[in-house]
Amino acid sequence: MAAKTDLTWDELNIALGGAAVTLAGGVLTISVNAVTGDTYAALTEEGVLEFMYKLRSACGNAQTTANESLETGEQLASFPPYAFGPLVDEEVSVTQLQTIALRLDTSKAFGINA
């Protein structure tokens, strides 16, 4: 089987619960509301960090699922596990990494393989 170098939008959508990613009229949309479970009234509201955390988490889950049928060396390794800091005041810091390979013109990103 060929090495996996990216996730499909469908794989991500499934990891997000099946209703977050839509395609209509050639326009691909990711619903922030569907990803976060929140509603918003204005673009001035906060919520970007929560969205990015949940989106990155879904990418990791989609990668895990996609890799289940792949051999070592073919598996996508662009979304490694989180690194967690110590618990302080009922909170823990979370470091999220994403590893990609970019061609020098940066027009297309490719995943790396494990």
Give the single-character DSSP code of 33.
H
Using CA atoms, how far apart are residues 78 and 24, in angstroms rounded to an integer?
A: 28
Other beta carbons within 10 Å of 11: 20
Residue, of 105 and 61, whose pLDDT is higher: 61
- Can you give the pTM of this predicted structure? 0.86
Write down the pLDDT at residue 79.
94
The one-letter amino acid at 7: L
Nearest to 113 by CA among 62, 77, 71: 77
Token pair recorded at residue 104: 């020098």
Enter the DSSP assignment of 18: S
Q: Is the pLDDT of residue 53 over 80?
A: yes
Find the DSSP H helices in 37-80. Answer: 48-67
Torsion of CA 76, 62, 31, 25, to 10 degrees: 70
Model confidence band, residue 47 (pLDDT cutoffs 50, 70, 90): very high
